[in-house]
Amino acid sequence: MKDKSFCPAVKDLLPLYGDGALSQETEELISRHLRACGECRALYEKIKGEDINTANESEERMRYQKVAKRIRRRRAGVVGLVVLLCVLIFIITASMFQPAIVSGDCMAPTVRDGEYYIINKWAYKTDVPSRRDILVYEKDGIYHITRVIGLPGECVEMRQGDVYIDGRRYGEYKDYPKDCSLGQTELGNDEYFVLEDNLKASENNEHMIRERDITGKVMVTH
C-alpha cells in the first residue's frame, strides 16, 4: 500500500473509514496504507479533527437551542401571568368601583348636576357608614345620592333648619333653610338618617334608610 496510485482511492474512502462503514478487509488495507503514507495519514487526521469540531459545534448548537427554548417558555409564562393579573385587576376594580353621574342639584355645591363621581361598593363590606359620609342607596329601583346625618340607635329631628341628635343641636349642620322642619325619627340598629345638602332642590322625602339599601360610599372626583 506504499504505491501512490492507491492514494486517490484511499482519500475518497477516508470519510467512510472514519465512520466505520467499510468492510473489515478494506479497513485493514487502508490502515496499512495510512501507516505507510504520511500524506494520507495527515489528511485522515485533518478529517478527524474537522469531525470533532463539527460534533462540538453541533453539541453547542443543541445546548443553545435548549437554553433558548427554556427562555422562550419562561418568557411566555411571565407574559401569561401578567395578562392574568391584568384581567384579575380589571375584574376586581370593576366589582369595587362604579362611575356615576349626578342628576339634579340635591347635593350641590358638593356634587353638582352632571358631575361625575365614583361609588366604592366595597367600602361598607368591612366598615359601617360614618356621620357626614356621602353615599348612594337604592329604593324601588331608583338610586339616590345623599349624606349620613344620624347613626343607628340615635333620635334625629330638624327644627327650623337646625339638626338635633338625641336632643342636642348638632352645629355642623347649619346651612339648611329655616323653613325646614322634620319630626323626631328613632333609628333602629340598622337604620340611618340621611339628608341631601341642598334640600330646596331635593325631591326625595325619604330620610330613613336601612343598611341593606346602601349601594356604596361616594368618592367625589373633583
Tell me the one-letter amino acid at 217: K
pLDDT in tens, 110-162: 888 889 899 999 999 889 999 999 999 998 888 999 999 999 999 999 998 88
Regarding whether 29 and 110 lie in a shared domain, the answer is no
25 belongs to a structural domain: yes
Look at residue 214 in the predicted model and tell me its pLDDT: 94
Report which of 130, 141, 142, 128 is spatially closest to residue 194, judged by C-alpha positions. 130
Residue 113 domain flag? yes
Task: Provide the CATH number for the domain around residue 151.
Answer: 2.10.109.10
Report the first-to-last Cα separation within the chain, whole angstroms. Answer: 101
Residues 6+ apart with CB under 8 A from 93: none
Q: How many domains does the structure of the chain reveal?
A: 2
Mean pLDDT, range 73-83, rounded to an integer: 81
Q: What is the pLDDT of residues 156-188, one digit of tens each?
A: 999 988 899 999 998 766 578 888 888 999 999
DSSP letters spanning 152-207:
TT-EEEEETTEEEETTEE-TT---S-TT--EEEEE--TTEEEEE-S-GGG------
Can you give the residue range of the structural domain that contains 148? 102-220
Residue 144, classified by CB atoms within 10 Å of its CB into exposed (0-12), middle (13-18) or buried (19+), is buried
119 shares a domain with 159: yes
What pTM did the predictor assign? 0.59
> Is 81 a member of any domain?
no
Last residue of a domain, one of 24, 49, 71: 71
Q: Between these two residues, 168 and 94, which has the higher pLDDT value?
A: 168
Q: Could you tell me if 16 and 64 lie in one domain?
A: yes
From CA 151, how far away is CA 81, in angstroms rounded? 45
User: pLDDT tens digits, residue range 24-34?
Assistant: 777 777 777 77
Distances (CA, A) of 45 to 42, 48, 50, 56, 79: 5, 5, 9, 16, 51
Kindly tell me if the per-residue pLDDT of 50 is higher than 80: no
What's phi and psi for 106, nearest 5 deg? -65, -20
8 and 61 both lie in a single domain: yes
Model pLDDT, residue 15: 73
Are residues 138 and 45 part of one domain? no
